[in-house]
Amino acid sequence: MKKQSCQQAHGNDTNIINSLLHDPRGRVVSVEALMVVEITLLWFIAALGSCRRQSSSRFIRTLVWAVYTVIFLIFTYTIGFMQSSSIRIDLYPVWAVSFFAVLGCTNSITAFELDDNKQWMKHYIQLILYYTYVSVTLLHMTDAFVATSVTLPFTVTIYKNYMRIHACLLASESWYSSKLLADYMKHEVDSNESRYDPVSLAGYNYLVCWTGARIRAEPPYYRKQFIATENVITIEQIWHCDGRLMKSAGGAQLKDVCLSFALFHLLRRRYFGFSCSESGLQKTRDFIFRGLLAREEDYNRAFRVIQVELSFLYDFFFTKYALMYYREHIIFYLTVISVTLTPLVILAVTRARGIYHSSSNLTTVEIKNSDIVITVLNLASLALLDMLQLILYWLSDWGKVSLTCRYVSHIQWQKNNIMERMLAFLCKVTLLSNWQDKIGQYSLLESFQGNPYTRRFNIFLRWSNILYLQDQEKMGIDMGLLLNNRKAGISTNVDTEVKKAIVQSLKANNAQLSNGLSSLARNGLVEHFSWACRQETQTHKILIWHIATCYCEIAPPELELSGSLEQVDVLIHRGVATKLSRYCAYLVVFVPELLPDHQWDTKAIFDEVEKETREFLRSVRTSQDKYQVMKNLGELEETSFGKGAKLGKQLESITDYSVRWKVIADFWSEMILFVTPSDNVRGHIERLTHGGEFITHLWALLTHAGIVEQHKEKQNV
């Protein structure tokens, strides 16, 4: 009886599927359902596309990737479904154009990964094929009014899809504009301007806008130079604009946004392989140290400028905002035309009281009101999203830069109260926070007891040996290095004290990067701890000091703190030290490509150090037991874990609890800066889609201070 019920249920499911696939009404309902799903996914990705830079959640990234991929698959399947169908309905062309509009509608994501931008030719060929598919569908229209009403928005939709592809082309092939900027900055260096002010930015001719500028090339190097016109706007011009708005608090915000935009262009040069000609100038260092970081109260502002700069960098490579900035007139007209044509198409839909036509029989079924309602809601939803995205662009930082440049270059705008009020309103609008403002955390001593690979994964490795790899050693493959199944700790906020400690360390060394020796010298402890700064690689050094810091965390204080001020100092130094220590360990484990050593060397070294830790602390669970085991270890100089325990005991010998944590905090403040300079621009940009990394913010800050590489004499100390 039970078996019979199951068979009956299975039969019912089969009948439903056959009805949807072969029944005329079922096929139409299927297309309508897919259309609703497609529009829903479009709204979803429009809302969450930019949220990737605000979250490091793997779930969110996977969800965005799935939606980003499925949208194209649904379009391809549905167009093929309608093409292969023997049924022809007058609403099919309208639906086809709606599906086609979905592909080029969202501005929040044009590429999921950096390499997607290089696939622009593939997308262009796909666009031609999609255009052909939709055009064939349009040929079956029987009503002339419906045909005309649908063809017009279809033409606009073609160009909107082309603009999406052009955004990928801009992100991957815009080396020419970067070359122009590199030549311009080289000319600025050669001009050797001696008068400048890093506070008022007088003499800082960093370009903000040069769209439509006239260009000339001069021998013998034929570097391209700009001819001064109103289309060339620099930071100096914006900072010294006499407009009333630019002298207000709102104007200060607009100035900082434009400064971030200028710095974004300078940073983008490095992705296209152009050098930073200004990096060796004192003027460049003064811009950061005597300008943005001149006072302690400016530290948060300096990092805010960098955050907005990285937002521009993210938008340039992964969204349509950069193309909208450079083609804003075209985008504006396309949006207006698209929204204006929507009522015309809706009117045509209400007139399309056609019938279903089937070549296999003479079945005729009237179009239902539900078909009309779904189609109208679909068209209205697309028009609303189109208009909303245009509004969001003008409210974004891109729109603020565009309007500010026009305000500065047009005297009439500066005398127009309406324009000033509009710009003042934009200053008050903040759509989304730029970044998550958190740093990852990882503690080796707290996570060592978990195996790096789950049992299920070990089973997979064994079967992969048997079925495919056969012999990993001969093939040179270590699957353990390919997949990282470790779990990070809870991310923590990058508070003001952490930023302050890092900036003070940079200033204390006179903008010279140190691997920790300078901090030890300032504390008078070079002779005791310099050995811990002289290690084989930066990875060894980070792990040894991390183990020592973890040891000091679990070590009981030998002396009671004497007063409230001392307690505050200890809490501050301990907080800075532990956060930066765990963040550096996090970088070793999860983001090794942003560190100086080769990422596979870093992974291999950490795997071995983790094995050492597990071997020594295998049967230990509590922090107190871990402390006792590490304290009783002998002089195990040959192991990194032993060196870390030895360093921890040496640090513990500093009886003043406040001084001990100050020494550790000073070291990590120097160390995070020392490992920051990198030529892996691609790696930093790719991490922007994972919520961003704090080390990327430091990397950008050091770049604009002219520090683009480690000092070789200190790296090998």
pLDDT digits (tens, 9 = 90+) for 371-393: 788 888 888 888 898 888 888 88
Which of 52-61, 253-262, 597-606, 630-639 shows the lowest per-residue confidence on average (mean pLDDT)? Answer: 630-639
Is the pLDDT higher at 624 or at 320?
320
Q: Residue written as tokens 């666009």?
A: 127
- Residue with the bigger pLDDT between 141 and 468: it is 141
pLDDT at 477: 46
The structure tokens 């030290």 sit at 577
What integer pLDDT is reported at residue 201 of this predicted model? 87
For the ranges 123-127, 242-246, 354-358, which has the lowest average pLDDT? 354-358
Q: In the predicted model, what is the mean pLDDT of residues 92-109?
A: 80
The per-residue pLDDT for 496 is 87
- Closest to 170 measured CA to CA, from 225, 212, 120: 120
Q: How far is CA 607 from CA 150, 346, 622, in A?
A: 61, 62, 23
What is the token pair recorded at 633? 């270890």
How far is 66 from 676, CA to CA, in rounded Å? Answer: 33
- State whether residue 438 is helix, strand or coil: strand
| Cβ atoms < 10 Å from Cβ of 604 | 16
Q: Specify the higher pLDDT residue, 230 or 508.
A: 508
Q: Under the phi-then-psi rule, with left for phi > 0, alpha for psi from -120 to 50, and beta for the rest, what region is 691?
A: left
* pLDDT tens profile 544-561: 999 999 988 888 865 555
- Given a contact cutoff of 8 angstroms between Cβ atoms, the answer to whether 117 and 171 are in contact is yes
With tokens 């706007």, the residue in question is 233
pLDDT tens digits for range 207-223 = 898 876 677 777 776 77
State the average pLDDT over residues 435-457. Answer: 68
Give me the residues paired with residue 202 across strands: 197
Q: Two tokens at 147?
A: 């045909």
- Split at pLDDT 50, 70, 90, the class of 243 is confident
Nearest to 551 by CA among 449, 445, 441: 445
pLDDT per position as a tens digit, 118-176:
888 888 888 888 888 888 777 766 667 777 888 888 888 888 888 888 888 889 888 88
Model confidence pLDDT, tens digit, residues 295-326: 877 788 899 999 999 999 999 999 899 999 99
- At 515-543, the pLDDT tens digits run 888 888 888 877 778 887 888 889 999 99
Average pLDDT (420-445) is 79
- Determine what percent of the chain is predicted with pLDDT higher than 70: 82
Average pLDDT over residues 109-124: 86
Which is more confidently placed, 87 or 176? 176
What pLDDT score does 586 carry? 93
Token output for 491? 């991310």
The set of long-range contacts for 709-717, using a CB threshold of 8 Å and a minimum separation of 24, is 709/677, 709/679, 710/513, 710/596, 710/674, 710/677, 711/512, 711/513, 714/512, 714/513, 714/514, 714/515, 714/517, 714/674, 715/515, 715/596, 715/674, 717/515, 717/517, 717/533, 717/534
Phi-psi region of 660 (alpha: psi -120 to 50; beta: other; left: phi over 0): alpha
Return the minimum-mean-pLDDT range out of 490-504, 632-646, 665-679.
632-646
What is the rounded CA–CA span in Å between residue 183 and residue 195? Answer: 21
Confidence of residue 463 (pLDDT cuts 50, 70, 90): very low
pLDDT over 90 percentage in the chain: 15
Q: How many CA atoms lie within 13 A of 371 on its CB side?
A: 25
- Residue 714: predicted pLDDT: 41
Q: How many CB atoms lie within 10 A of CB 147?
A: 16
Using an 8 Å Cβ cutoff, are 117 and 693 in contact?
no
Most confident of 188-197, 428-437, 691-700: 691-700
Query: What mean pLDDT is predicted for residues 564-591?
Result: 86
Q: What local confidence, expressed as pLDDT, does residue 5 receive?
A: 52
Q: For position 223, what pLDDT does the model report? A: 73
Residue 361 has pLDDT above 50, yes or no: yes
Please give the pLDDT value at position 310: 93
Show Cβ contacts of residue 5 under 8 Å, excluding neighbours closer than 6 positions: none
* Res. 179: pLDDT tops 60: yes
Q: Which residue has the higher pLDDT, 410 or 595?
A: 595
Q: What is the pLDDT of residues 271-280, one digit of tens each?
A: 998 888 888 7
Both tokens of 115, joined, read 């390499």
Q: What is the DSSP letter of 115?
A: G
> Is 90 exceeded by the pLDDT of residue 10?
no
What is the per-residue pLDDT for 585?
A: 93
pLDDT at residue number 95: 82
Global pTM reads 0.87
pLDDT given for residue 431 in this prediction: 66
| Mean pLDDT, rounded, for 479-495 | 68
CA gap 188, 600 in Å, rounded: 40
Q: What is the pLDDT of residues 188-208, one digit of tens each?
A: 776 766 688 888 888 888 889
577 closest CA partner among 631, 512, 658: 658
Which position has the higher pLDDT, 582 or 26? 582
Across the chain, mean pLDDT equals: 80
pLDDT at res. 446: 82
Least confident stretch, 403-407, 425-429, 482-486: 482-486
Residues paired with residue 229 on neighbouring β-strands, in sequence order? none
Helix (H, G, I), strand (E, B) or coil at 204: coil
